[in-house]
Structure 1
Amino acid sequence: MPSSDPLPPKEGALFRKLLKCYELKQYKNGLKLAKQILSNPRYTEHGETLAMKGLTLNGLGRRDEAYKYVRLGLRNDLRSHVCWHVYGLLQRSDKKYDEAIKCYRNALKWEKDNLQILKDLSLLQIQMRDLEGYKETRHHLFTLRPSQHASWIGFSMSYHLLGDYEMANNILETFSQSQTSIEAHDYRHSELLLYQNQILIESSDLQKALDHLIKYESQIVDKLAVRESMGDLYIKLNQEEKAVPIFEALIKRNPENVLYYEQLLKARKLTESSSIVAAYREYQAQYPYALCPRRLPLNIAEGDEFRQVADEYLRRGLRKGIPPLFVNVRSLHQNPAKASIIEKLTLQYFENLTRSGHFSREDADNGVAVEPASALVWTALFLAQHYDYMRDTDRALEYINAAIDHTPTLIELLITKGRIFKHAGDPVEAYVWLEEAQSMDTADRYINSKCAKYMLRANMVQEAEEICSKFTREGVSAMDNLNEMQCMWFQTECARAFQRMGRWGEALKKCYEVERHFAEIIEDQFDFHTYCMRKMTLRAYVGLLRLEDVLRRHPFYFKAAKCAIEVYIRLYDKPLKAETTIEEIDIENLPPSELKKLRSKQRKAKKKAELESAQAAQAQVKREQHQKSKQQANQETDPDAPQLDELIAEKLERPDDPLDKATEFLKPLQQLAKERIETHLLAFEVYYRKNKLLLMLQSIRRARSVDPTHPVLHSCIIRFMKALLQATKQGPPFNGHVQQVLDKATKELIGQKTPQQLNDEFIAKHNASILHLYEGARGLYELDPSKKDQAVKLITSYDLSKLRLEEAIQIYTALRDGDVFGDCETEANDYQQACHQRFQYARIFRNIEELEAQLQEKEKAAAAAAAAKLHAETEDEQQQQQQHNHQQQQLNHLDSSKPPSVAAGAS
């Protein structure tokens, strides 16, 4: 394109070479060419050359110099589209997409038909989801290059993303008609037709979509997608008889696809459970090795029919020894009747296998072959998992111990025993069993990861990192390598472990690492905007865009954000103080013994701090070396990636405004996780501390729309009413509109009642639910702190036999920590003892003395086992020595009994 400040032929040729060098990433050669142009006294301030020099420097990683030269070039030539374009490229490399879009628009003011600028602008617009702007830019590109395929596709997609399906389909239809020659098995054309069909389906014009598939079926390469779409369309258009042969053929192709069976049953119009089970039996006969036709009838059958189907399914699984058998049927336990039938069947199996080696007495009487010996072990494992799911810990341990006694080398048994202890509330004992399982197969990455997860649940972060280091890259710490690999399950578990231990900075660091992973995933989609358009993978591309729009709805992000918000709320309620130095302590009035203890304590603390700082410095050096090598390795592929700030735990745990930081994590949840009530309850906690009445009200309303019976919602309403009363008494009068909204909300939430009346009614209505009673007690104490004893008694007098472990832990921690009801040390100790009788295996309810005694017993048992092993080895050595001596004596006796001539000959 012509320049606003053209160069003479010699310098112009050098400038074109400079552009070529930048495209080929020959940055050093480009700098030499820029220097040649700028060395000419007439062109020392040539704006476009200065801008290109800055862009080349950015390619070499010299970011500050790059901005300096680009801004200087722009200042010298504000009307140059090249300078504005280069500035936009520089902003884009720093992920400042909004600023880059402004630069591209300024460039288009001086060169409105520049194809490269328009393409770059369209990429940023779709990245930022500026769909209206994207449509305008794609229309401009279409008018400039109507002969290019990408112009038609991008123009159509801009309307599709905006929901104008008719216009998008018309564009693609016109483009298809303009194509004259189509090669056989043209995959790009095939994908374009399937994308057009997707647009027709989304527009709800199903008949037209079906006609389109039938018309172009011969030109579509992906026959599986054609058959699936066609069968689905026939069902939706009430032409089920045409869908039956399609799904029968699909099941023959893949008899393990659950969706095919569901669609076929719809097509055959089968609604009664007996007819559905009979249909599944037909497929069992046709596909005897398929699992789906055997498992799916269990969801439909009831009563005796379910008993028969479950009997067949369980016998087959236990006979073959399928480890995830219980996982396959776990969803059936939500139906108590089905869970009872499964329990009775497996108990009969265990009894009969123990007695006769058969699953039933009938099999034994009829002379059926004996079941394999392993069937007893798998039956015991199934029963242990069943009772663990029902939270009957004693019976679960009984069966898992029986299985381990039978086959002590089966790793699945040890994993299940660890899981039982985890559900029983003893994470330490759980990790011990997982560690033993891991030691039996150190090459199994699944067991290794499971063991690390259990260690994190027991707050053993260092040990978990060591376990994970067996499968991470050498030369790099496991924590850094897992962060590079975006191993988010490990990081979320780490964050929660640090949160439980009160290491707030470390917890926040892990949360921010997870947040950066999601930001990186969103930025990585930038590479696919041109790739998918070129390769014509349009359906996958649209799916990618829609996934990225809701990416932060993922459970990993929700866990990390929830943890970060809770930590910031804790730091707001109880901010960390700087450590007390010796000068701040009144040492003059301390007795000599106390002063000596203080000096000793501080010397130990100083040594520990020096050791930790040395270790941190060493780790920092390794991290910097690793980061430097990583940057050097990626210099050619991604030289202009922005550097992220280092996450330092000490700085993170002392934020200037914790609530603002919490809001940063909260906003994505409010946008993408609206269906989860925890989002709105967390929002209320943040806004309650900010004293934002309208936002508190908004959070309450959103929470009520999700679950109006949630217990925590009641205490939110009580606290909101209390905050409203305080604001009315103390602050200036509200704006008229605000007052109107608040009056309407008050009437909607509590009517004509007072908060005390509302709380009393709530307690009376939900006296059978401990969580509702707990929130009612919170409201009682919140409204009148003098009723503390009554509030505490309300929850501690509840029948413990009706409590679940999680509920008991929640109440005990509230009493122990004193954050809800104030100081309740006596009540907490009494409640702990009562809960220990109810939940014998839960570690949180045990006394410290008991835990220490248990630890000593384990150490004694381990020492005794080691001594017994050593004694056995010593006895074996002695026996071997005695046997050797005896053999030697026999040989000597034989030699002495021989004649002298024979003995001499033998020697």
Structure 2
Amino acid sequence: MAQAQVPGQQLSSKDLGLFRQVVRHFESKQYKKGLKTAEQVLKKNPNHADTQAMKALIMHSQGHTQEAFDLAKIALKNNMKSHVCWHVYGLLWRGEKNFEEAIKAYKFALRLEPDSQPIQRDLAHLQIQMRDYEGYVESRRNMLQQKPGFRQNWTALAIAHHLSGNYEDAENVLTTYEDTLKSKMSRTDIEHWEAVLYKNYIIAESGQVEKALEHLEAVGKKSPDVLGVMEMRADYLLRLDKKEDAEAAYSALLDRNPENSAYFDGYIKAKGLQEADPLEAKKAYDEIAAKYPRSDLPRRRPLDFLSGDAFREAADAYLQRMLRKGVPSTFANIKQLYGDASKRKTVQELVEGYEAGEVSSPAGMSDPTEKEQENFKWSVPYFLAQHYNFAASRDLSKALTYTDKCLSIDPKSVDFHAVQGRTFKYLGQISKAAETMQKAQDLDLKDRAINTKCAKYLLRDNQNEAAVEMAGKFTQNKTSGGPLADLLDMQCVWYLTEDGQAYLRQRKLGLALKRFYQILNIFEVWQDDQFDFHNFSLRKGMIRAYIDMLRWEDHLRDHPFFSRMAISVVKAYLLLADNPDLAHGPILNGVNGSAANGKMSEAERKKALKKAKREQEKLEKAEAEKKALAKASKPVPKADAEDVKKEDTDPLGKTLVETKTPLEDAMKFLSPLLESCPNLLDAQKAGFEVYLQRKKYLLAVKCLLAIKSISPSDPDLHVYSYQLRRAVELKQDSVDDKVIDMVKDLGKDVLHSGTPAKDLNERFQQTSLHHTQAYLKVKDMLDESSRKENEKALVDSISKYPESTLPDLIAGLELLQQWGTSEDIIESYKAEARKTFSEADVFQSTKTD
């Protein structure tokens, strides 16, 4: 940054040199030296605005946000015409992620210094970060006009036009620059050839595939990206229906990588076998399999489209080949077929036949060798154990039988213990599953995969401390925060999610919210990381990868990691809104450690609350002692160390859980969730519950209609419809009549306002345990005097639906606890549930004699 030459703000040559040192210290992150040098300048020139601005920028980098903004405003007051002060002010706002204010400051700075490349560059980066393509085009055009001899400016303007949808302008910009080149570029000039292929990419994306192919044929042979050119050419030929050439192109790609499924798709499409007779397609795959004998794909793919006897024959050959080799992932390779009941049955019959000794070598396959027979002895029962574990073919008693057989063959196998642990999990024996995974982990202490699985199962069993210790076996453990700090540094989202959900089940909402906010911060870091690449990608010339990254970032919050976390945090805030006492910790123990919402006397509530507060104080004391111990054992940092890690002032999430506006806080997660995942059923359910409690009935009915479109038969739709209908009817005095009319009009297909609610509930079809629970919920809301009758009906409903899932049975138990049901009824429910899941932890009797 250059000093602004404004009257009354000039520095002597010596002080000007010091000011430049301040800038250099900031850029090299030597913040202490920068502050010291800035103080030297300000000692002689106390009102020098540019130095004050730079000092503010350094202070902001050290975490002194408010002081930095105060000083920046003083700097602006001292010199409103300094582009440095306005630039710094924009950087401060950018650091606070207030991009609108940052852009305003940058634009004001540009008015004062129109030729400043740093300001123009920062403005452009912020515009592309916010996807302001129109503004980005303008900024890049200005930068190009200022420095037309700089290739990056041409490429950047092409990118701006491309992303804004102006394909022709983008192509013209790149062509214009190419025309200015006076000599041919060498093959080693990566930046040039990447720009050439990017131009081809733009032409193809604009729909001019024929032109793209002609251009590629002209320039492709000179490009160092041989594979990229081959893939683009094959794609263009296929899209232009030049099947013979496309077949040859994909054949050449298969020679390079016979395991790439996209190449197989293109090859089969080029041969015109997508809609052809399955047996003809099978012959083509057999030819490829003969050509690439080590490739798995040409043998596995035919199983997707064959049927009947042809499928049985191909499946027999494939399964025998894999099981003879003893490939542990055989089941993972074929489980996608289980969506077809007939194929699932055929696979089961074949493998059970192998288990019974009914094995005949398929055509073209020799009899099994002694080694292959040995592999068969364990690979077949291992396959069947996984088969009977899988949801579509689940029979957990058989799964345990085959697991036991595997363990009798090799009691030290990690894989066999892992599948046994998974079986226990599906049986509801979470503690036993975690114990089994620990045994598996003990068998191979260097296997990170089983360590990860073990940590996950410990979290499912709500053993948070044991889980972090387990995960810590594969972390550096050099930071003061221990393994958890390492997992945060590694952005281990799966662990943080499982950890947060474990605390949520235990109703330790502070810690749960802490984990979920840490995940949110990770997603924000991923989004902010784009800033580094706006300049880096142009400098390195990796344009196509940069475009792919931007498009990936546009769908960042579509990721299941985000939706799972967001739904969990909304549940936490809903619990907090329903019962603010949970801010002090779990006050009642229910299903999976949840807080039951039974009827408590005021004396009982006070006693439980006092106990919860004592437990919370113990946790805070233990955390303080841990922090003090870590601080004492931590080496003293060097005096010059600048990048000191910020200390976590709220490790237990106390500030988060003590919020007075839980539903408003939930919107920080809910809004991006509904925007990014509108077709996710659980997201719409979470949205409905929040909007209903916030009395945003129009938004609630919107979620209700979305639920109906996604899953019209979902039982919760029945409950939600009644809840909204009742809310609208009861709140008519406090809600605008126009809103009420709009809700009734929009939701007429789900609210059925013209029919009595009791009649609607009686007509509701009960086809599963979940449906029965929905019916009884509404019945209870209609008439609480029927509570005893409803409790008995809920217990009796278990025997009516013997195929009920474990989650549905747990949901029924939670409903009883919400109703404040007596211990005898709850024990009766558990006894009925044990007839289906006899060993499930959650249904074991807690009654003491």
TM-score (ref. length: structure 1): 0.83
User: How far, CA to CA, are the matches of 1:603 and 1:304 in structure 2?
Assistant: 70
Tell me if structure 1 keeps the 8 A contact 2:259–2:297: yes
2:289 aligned with 1:284 = yes
| 1:666 counterpart residue number | 670
Q: Find the partner of 1:681 among 680, 685, 706.
A: 685
| 2:642 counterpart residue number | 635
2:294 aligned with 1:314 = no
Shift of 1:59: 6.0
User: How far, CA to CA, are the matches of 1:35 and 1:849 in structure 2?
Assistant: 72
- Which has the larger displacement, 367-376 or 185-194? 367-376
Write out per-residue CA displacement over residues 15-65 of structure 1, whole angstroms, 9 at most, x where no aligned residue.
Answer: 15522552254666655665555455xx54232333334445556666666
- Which has the larger displacement, 545-554 or 296-305? 545-554
Relative distance call for 1:314 and 1:257 in structure 2 (3 A) is: same
Q: Find the partner of 2:305 among 300, 304, 316.
A: 300
| 1:905 counterpart residue number | none
User: How far, CA to CA, are the matches of 1:671 and 1:608 in structure 2?
Assistant: 39
User: How far, CA to CA, are the matches of 1:830 and 1:299 in structure 2?
Assistant: 47
User: How far, CA to CA, are the matches of 2:417 and 2:205 in structure 1?
Assistant: 50
- Which has the larger displacement, 1-10 or 287-296? 1-10
| 2:769 counterpart residue number | 770
- Which has the larger displacement, 508-517 or 707-716? 707-716
Tell me if structure 2 keeps the 8 A contact 1:297–1:309: yes
5+ residue gaps, structure 2: 586-606
Relative distance call for 1:33 and 1:498 in structure 2 (3 A) is: closer
| 1:341 counterpart residue number | 346
| 2:543 counterpart residue number | 538
Q: Find the partner of 1:222 among 220, 225, 228.
A: 225
User: How far, CA to CA, are the matches of 2:783 and 2:616 in structure 1?
Assistant: 46
| 1:500 counterpart residue number | 505
Written as runs of structure 1 = structure 2, the 5 A alignment for 1:91-170 is: 91-170=93-172
Relative distance call for 1:724 and 1:273 in structure 2 (3 A) is: same
Tell me if structure 2 keeps the 8 A contact 1:352–1:361: no
User: How far, CA to CA, are the matches of 2:757 and 2:616 in structure 1?
Assistant: 52
Relative distance call for 1:141 and 1:628 in structure 2 (3 A) is: farther
Relative distance call for 1:32 and 1:498 in structure 2 (3 A) is: closer
Tell me if structure 1 keeps the 8 A contact 2:687–2:703: yes
User: How far, CA to CA, are the matches of 2:611 and 2:347 in structure 1?
Assistant: 60
Relative distance call for 1:361 and 1:115 in structure 2 (3 A) is: closer
Q: Find the partner of 1:81 among 77, 80, 83.
A: 83
Tell me if structure 2 keeps the 8 A contact 1:721–1:755: no
Relative distance call for 1:563 and 1:211 in structure 2 (3 A) is: same
Shift of 1:710: 2.6
User: How far, CA to CA, are the matches of 1:568 and 1:10 in structure 2?
Assistant: 56
Q: Find the partner of 2:573 among 558, 568, 577.
A: 568
| 1:427 counterpart residue number | 430
Relative distance call for 1:34 and 1:620 in structure 2 (3 A) is: closer
Flag the structure with larger Rg: 1
Tell me if structure 1 keeps the 8 A contact 2:3–2:50: no
Q: Find the partner of 1:830 among 825, 828, 831.
A: 828
Q: Find the partner of 1:186 among 189, 211, 217.
A: 189
Write out per-residue CA displacement over residues 186-242 of structure 1, whole angstroms, 9 at most, x where no aligned residue.
Answer: 211121122222222222222222222122212322121111122122222222121
Written as runs of structure 1 = structure 2, the 5 A alignment for 1:517-596 is: 517-576=522-581
Tell me if structure 2 keeps the 8 A contact 1:759–1:779: no
Shift of 1:112: 2.3
User: How far, CA to CA, are the matches of 1:247 and 1:761 in structure 2?
Assistant: 61
Q: Find the partner of 1:470 among 469, 473, 481.
A: 473
Aligned partner letter, 1:5? V
Written as runs of structure 1 = structure 2, the 5 A alignment for 1:704-743 is: 704-728=708-732, 730-731=733-734, 734-735=737-738, 738-743=739-744
Secondary structure (helix, strand or coil) at the match of 1:225 reads: helix
Relative distance call for 1:624 and 1:96 in structure 2 (3 A) is: farther
Relative distance call for 1:842 and 1:122 in structure 2 (3 A) is: same
Shift of 1:299: 0.9
Relative distance call for 1:552 and 1:632 in structure 2 (3 A) is: farther
Q: Find the partner of 2:270 among 254, 267, 270.
A: 267
| 1:511 counterpart residue number | 516
- Which has the larger displacement, 329-338 or 26-35? 26-35
| 1:797 counterpart residue number | 797
Shift of 1:601: 12
| 1:871 counterpart residue number | none
| 2:701 counterpart residue number | 697
Shift of 1:631: 11
User: How far, CA to CA, are the matches of 1:301 and 1:288 in structure 2?
Assistant: 21
Shift of 1:533: 1.0
Tell me if structure 1 keeps the 8 A contact 2:744–2:751: no
Aligned partner letter, 1:174? T
TM-score (ref. length: structure 2): 0.89
Secondary structure (helix, strand or coil) at the match of 2:802 reads: helix
Secondary structure (helix, strand or coil) at the match of 2:731 reads: helix
User: How far, CA to CA, are the matches of 2:709 and 2:71 in structure 1?
Assistant: 55
Shift of 1:403: 1.6
Write out per-residue CA displacement over residues 730-788 of structure 1, whole angstroms, 9 at most, x where no aligned residue.
Answer: 436513xx355234224343557415267347523xx3233233323323333333444
User: How far, CA to CA, are the matches of 1:264 and 1:198 in structure 2?
Assistant: 22
Aligned partner letter, 2:836? R
Relative distance call for 1:627 and 1:535 in structure 2 (3 A) is: farther
User: Percent of pairs identical after alignment?
Assistant: 32
User: How far, CA to CA, are the matches of 1:2 and 1:605 in structure 2?
Assistant: 59
| 2:51 counterpart residue number | 49
| 2:589 counterpart residue number | none
Tell me if structure 1 keeps the 8 A contact 2:768–2:804: no
| 1:382 counterpart residue number | 383
Q: Counting helix residues as a fraction of each chain, which structure ranks higher?
A: 1
Give the root-mean-square deviation of aligned CA atoms.
3.2
Shift of 1:367: 7.7
2:435 aligned with 1:417 = no
Aligned partner letter, 1:829? E
Q: Find the partner of 2:205 among 175, 180, 202.
A: 202
Tell me if structure 2 keeps the 8 A contact 1:138–1:155: yes
Secondary structure (helix, strand or coil) at the match of 1:516 reads: helix
Tell me if structure 1 keeps the 8 A contact 2:247–2:271: yes
User: How far, CA to CA, are the matches of 2:575 and 2:700 in structure 1?
Assistant: 19
Relative distance call for 1:352 and 1:538 in structure 2 (3 A) is: same
User: How far, CA to CA, are the matches of 2:611 and 2:711 in structure 1?
Assistant: 53
Aligned partner letter, 1:717? S
Aligned partner letter, 1:169? E
Tell me if structure 2 keeps the 8 A contact 1:818–1:824: no
Shift of 1:127: 1.9
Relative distance call for 1:762 and 1:331 in structure 2 (3 A) is: farther
| 1:875 counterpart residue number | none
Tell me if structure 1 keeps the 8 A contact 2:326–2:376: yes
User: How far, CA to CA, are the matches of 2:93 and 2:3 in structure 1?
Assistant: 24
| 2:595 counterpart residue number | none
Secondary structure (helix, strand or coil) at the match of 2:272 reads: coil
Relative distance call for 1:377 and 1:33 in structure 2 (3 A) is: closer
User: How far, CA to CA, are the matches of 1:33 and 1:407 in structure 2?
Assistant: 70
Aligned partner letter, 1:306? F
Written as runs of structure 1 = structure 2, the 5 A alignment for 1:372-411 is: 372-389=373-390, 390-411=393-414
Relative distance call for 1:428 and 1:3 in structure 2 (3 A) is: closer
| 2:334 counterpart residue number | 329
Relative distance call for 1:17 and 1:502 in structure 2 (3 A) is: closer
Tell me if structure 1 keeps the 8 A contact 2:187–2:224: no
User: How far, CA to CA, are the matches of 2:250 and 2:448 in structure 1?
Assistant: 38
Aligned partner letter, 1:419? R
2:178 aligned with 1:176 = yes
Secondary structure (helix, strand or coil) at the match of 1:802 reads: coil
Relative distance call for 1:391 and 1:61 in structure 2 (3 A) is: closer
Shift of 1:168: 1.6
Tell me if structure 1 keeps the 8 A contact 2:22–2:37: no
Secondary structure (helix, strand or coil) at the match of 1:84 reads: helix
